[in-house]
Structure 1
Amino acid sequence: MPLRWVTMLTQRLLLLRLGQLAALFLMACLGLFDLANGMTNSGSFVLIQILTAIATAVVWLPRHRQGSKRLPKVALALGIGSLLLTMVLTGDSGTGGSYGLAETVGLLGVLFVVSRRGDAQWAVGGVLAVSMALGFLPLRSGLDYEMVIVGLIQGLAATAVIGLGVYLRNIEATRRRAMDSVRAEQRAEFARDLHDFIAHHVTGIVIQAQGARFVAEQDPKRVLLALEQIEAAGAETMASMRRMVGVLRDPEAKPDAPLTPLAGVDELGPLLEQFTNSGGPLARLHLDGSTTGVPVEVSTSAYRVVMEALTNIRRHAQGARVADVWVRRTPDWLLVRVANDGLPPRAPATREAPGYGLVGLQERVRAVGGRITAGPGIDGGWVVDAALPLDQEVTR
C-alpha cells in the first residue's frame, strides 16, 4: 500500500478516535451535571440510569462493519429498555430533576451509528425504538408541557441524526457502486484485450509454422529455430491467458464486443504528440533501453498508465507547462513515470473526484503483477510511477 494512502488512513482513524474521545468527555460532563442537579428518582434507579448511559457508549464506540445485523438488534434492545425505564420513572412521579442528559447524547450516538452502519432490515426497528426512547425521555422529569416540548425537540434532533447517518450511508454506497462499475468495465476491457493477445500470439505462431514448412527442405537447422520461437510464443500466450482470465469476474462480458488495435510503448510518441497538439502542456518522451520484445500485456498496460496520467494532467494539473514521460527498461522491469510541473490537486477536488481512473489502472497493473503509486512530487507537481514485471518470476 502506498505511503500516501497509509498516511490518509491513519489521519482518518486519528480524527475518528479524537471525535469519540470528545463525545465520551461530553457524556462524562453531562453525567456529572445529571448527578449534581439531582436525578428524577432515588435509590437503585439512579444506578440503572447511569448504567444505561454507559451502555449507549459501549454500543457506538466500537467500529462496526457495514451491514451489521448485531448492531441494530442491540440498539433495539437498548431503546426498549430505555422506554421501559421511562415508563417506570414517569409512574413513580419524578421530582423535576435532570432526566438524563448523558443518556440522551448516548442514544443520539447509537441512532447515528445504526443509521450509518446497521443492516437495512433490522435498522428500521432499532431506529424506531431509539427515536421513541429519545422523544419520551424528558417525561421522566414530569408530564408538564415544558418536558413535552423538550421531548419534541429531542425527536427533531433524532430525525436530523438519522438523516445525517443515511446521507453518509448513501455516499458510501454510491462510491462503492461507482468503483464496482469501474472494475466491471475494466474487466470487460480485459476480455477484449485477451482476444487481442491470443490473436496476436497465435497469428505469429501460424506464420512461423508456415515458414518452417517452406524452409524444412532447404535448411533443416532453421526449422529448429522456428520451433523454438513457436514454443516461446505458445508459452507466452498461455501465460497471458492465465493472468487475464484470472482477473475476469463478470460472466456477462461479451466476447464479440468491438475490438480496438493494440497500443503499446511503441505508440507513446504519437500519443504524446496528439496530447500536445490538442492544447495540453508540452509532452516529452524519455526512453532508456530498448522496447523490443516487451510482453504485449506489459506494453499495453504501460500505454494505458501514460494515457490515464496525461488525462489527469489535462483535468487537474493547474498551470502545468510540461509533462515528462520516462520509460526505462531494466533486466526484470519496465518502469514508467509521468510527471508534470503544475500545482497538485487541491484537497476538496480530491474528495469530490475519488479517482476512479486510478482504480481501473490498479486493476490492470495488478493483473500483470506490477505496482503503481501516485502522489505529489518532491519538486511540486504530480507524479505517477508504475513498475511492470517483464518476467512473472520476479513477482513471485
Structure 2
Amino acid sequence: MLTQQNRNLLFRLGQLALLGLMALLGLVDLQAGMAGAGGVVLLQVLAAMATAVVWLPRHQQGSTRLPKVALLVAGFSLVVTVLVVLTGPTDGSFGIAEALGLLGMLYVVCRRAEAQLAVAAVVTTVVAVGLLPVRGGLTPEYVIAGLMLALVSTAAIGGGVYLRTIESTRQRAMDAVRAEQRAEFARDLHDFIAHHVTGIVVQAQGARFIAEQDPQRVLLALEQIEQAGAETMASMRRMVGVLRDPDAHPDAPLAPLAGVHELGPLLEQFSSSGGTLARLHVDGDIGGLPVEVSTSAYRVVMEALTNIRQHARGARVADVWIRRTPEWLLVRVANDGAAPRPTAPRERPGYGLVGLTERVRAVGGRITAGPGIDGGWVVDAALPVVQEVTQ
C-alpha cells in the first residue's frame, strides 16, 4: 500500500514527465513555426508555458484562485486562436505543446478547483482545446484533430472528477470517523470528570465531619481533593480543546483513556475517599484484550463505582470481579448497600447507565443492573473477546 510520501513522489515524477514532454513538443512547434508565422508560434509557446504555471503547483482542494487563473490562460489561448483566424492559418503546428498543457490544466481544475468557479474555467478550456486545430485551417485533418482533442478533453474531465469524487468520499468518511471518535472521547472524559467530581464532593463532606476529631485526616482528604481536582481540570481542558478545534490538536488522543489494567488505581482512589472499601478480584489472564473490550470494561466499573457513591446508602464494600473466558470478558460490580431509591418524577434521570448500555452493545456485549439476591446492587456485563465475522 502506497504511503502519502510515495504518492507525492509519484505525483511529482508525473509532473516532471509531462513537463519534459511539453518541452519536446514545444521544440517541435518552434521548428515547424519557423517556416511559417514565427510570431504566432511564439504566442503558442507562451500559452503552453502559462498552462504549466497553472497545473504545476500543488493546489489545495476547493481552491478559488485555480479556476480564475485557468480561465485567464484559456482565454489567452482563445485570443491567440482568433488572431490566427483573422490573419490566416499557420503553415506549421497549431500548438501541440499548448494542447497538452491545456489538457493538464483541465484535469487539475476538475480535480482541485472550487466547484462553482470551475464550471466557467472548464467550459472555456474545452472550447480553447477544441478550437486549437482551427489555427491550421478547416481541412478534414484539422477537423478530425479537433474532435480527437475534444474527446481527450472529456477523458481529462472524467479522470479529474472521478478522483475528486473518490477523495471527497474518503474525506467524508474520515470526518465521520473523527466526529465519532471525538464524541466518544467527550463521553469518556465526561464520565471521568463526573467520577472525580463525585469523589471530591464525598471527600469534602467527610472532611467536614472529621475536622474536629482528626485534623490529620482532613489534610489527607484535602490532598486527595487537590489531586482529583487537578485531574478533572486537565480532562476538561482536553475535552474542550478537542471539541472546539480538533484540527489544531492532531496528536490529541481520540480514543478512550483507560482499560482493565488501570482498574487497580481506580479502586484504590475510590477506597481512599472513605466510606466504601473497593476490592478487585481477577480470574484469568486479562492481557491481550481488544482495546474496545478493555476500555468498555473499565467504563462499566467506573460508572458502577460512581453510582455507588451517589446512590448506595450505607455501602461498606464494593466488589469488582473480572473474569476472562475464551470467548467473553465478564465484569461484575456489587455492593452491600441499600438499593437505589426510585427517581422522583421531577428529577432529571441520569444518562450514565443509558450511555453505558449503548457502549456495551456497540461492542456486541450485554449488561444488566438490578438488586442483588443478598441485597445491594449488582451490575453485570459480558463483553465478547472474540468478534464474530459475518459472511
Q: Is the TM-score greater than 0.5?
A: yes
Shift of 1:32: 2.2
Contact 1:115–1:123, Cα closer than 8 Å, also in 2: yes
From 159, 170, 181, the counterpart of 1:164: 159
Shift of 1:69: 1.9
Contact 2:37–2:91, Cα closer than 8 Å, also in 1: no
In 2: Cα distance, 1:40 partner to 1:88 partner: 18
In 2: Cα distance, 1:291 partner to 1:207 partner: 18
Contact 1:134–1:155, Cα closer than 8 Å, also in 2: yes
Are 2:71 and 1:73 equivalent residues in the alignment?
no
Counterpart of 1:135? Answer: 130
From 224, 242, 259, the counterpart of 1:265: 259
In 2: Cα distance, 1:83 partner to 1:32 partner: 22
Counterpart of 1:200? Answer: 195
Aligned ranges for residues 38-57 of structure 1 at < 5 Å? 38=33, 41-57=36-52
Shift of 1:213: 4.0
From 109, 123, 140, the counterpart of 1:145: 140
Give 3-state SS (helix, strand or coil) of 1:143's partner: coil
Q: Give the paired residue count.
A: 268
Q: What amino acid does structure 2 have at the position aligned with 1:209?
A: A
**Which residues of structure 2 form unaligned runs of 5+?**
246-255, 271-286, 295-391
Shift of 1:215: 3.4
From 160, 169, 178, the counterpart of 1:174: 169
Counterpart of 1:307? Answer: 291
In 2: Cα distance, 1:246 partner to 1:70 partner: 32
Contact 1:112–1:161, Cα closer than 8 Å, also in 2: yes
Shift of 1:130: 0.8
Distance 1:217 1:161, change over 3 A: same
Q: What amino acid does structure 2 have at the position aligned with 1:231?
A: E
Contact 1:265–1:291, Cα closer than 8 Å, also in 2: no
Counterpart of 1:87? Answer: 82
Contact 1:190–1:248, Cα closer than 8 Å, also in 2: no
Counterpart of 1:357? Answer: none
Q: TM-score, normalised by structure 1?
A: 0.60
Counterpart of 1:97? Answer: 92
In 1: Cα distance, 2:121 partner to 2:14 partner: 23
From 201, 210, 227, the counterpart of 2:222: 227
From 180, 183, 186, the counterpart of 1:188: 183
In 2: Cα distance, 1:30 partner to 1:229 partner: 77
Contact 2:36–2:90, Cα closer than 8 Å, also in 1: yes
Moved more, 138-147 or 9-18: 9-18
Over aligned residue pairs, what C-alpha RMSD do you find?
3.3
In 2: Cα distance, 1:166 partner to 1:38 partner: 35
Q: Deviations over 1:346-372 (max 9, x none)?
A: xxxxxxxxxxxxxxxxxxxxxxxxxxx
Contact 2:259–2:291, Cα closer than 8 Å, also in 1: no
**Which residues of structure 1 form unaligned runs of 5+?**
251-261, 270-289, 297-302, 311-396
Q: What amino acid does structure 2 have at the position aligned with 1:177?
A: R
From 240, 243, 259, the counterpart of 1:245: 240
Shift of 1:134: 0.6
Q: Which has the larger radius of gyration?
A: 2
Counterpart of 2:107? Answer: 112
Q: What amino acid does structure 1 have at the position aligned with 2:291?
A: M
Contact 2:37–2:90, Cα closer than 8 Å, also in 1: no
In 2: Cα distance, 1:208 partner to 1:265 partner: 25
In 2: Cα distance, 1:174 partner to 1:309 partner: 30
Contact 1:108–1:158, Cα closer than 8 Å, also in 2: yes
In 1: Cα distance, 2:89 partner to 2:269 partner: 80
Aligned ranges for residues 230-379 of structure 1 at < 5 Å? 230-249=225-244, 264-266=258-260, 307=291
Q: TM-score, normalised by structure 2?
A: 0.61
Q: Give identity over the alignment, percent.
A: 62
Q: Deviations over 1:275-313 (max 9, x none)?
A: xxxxxxxxxxxxxxx8569999xxxxxx9x951699xxx
Contact 2:94–2:136, Cα closer than 8 Å, also in 1: yes
Give 3-state SS (helix, strand or coil) of 2:138's partner: coil
Contact 2:33–2:41, Cα closer than 8 Å, also in 1: no
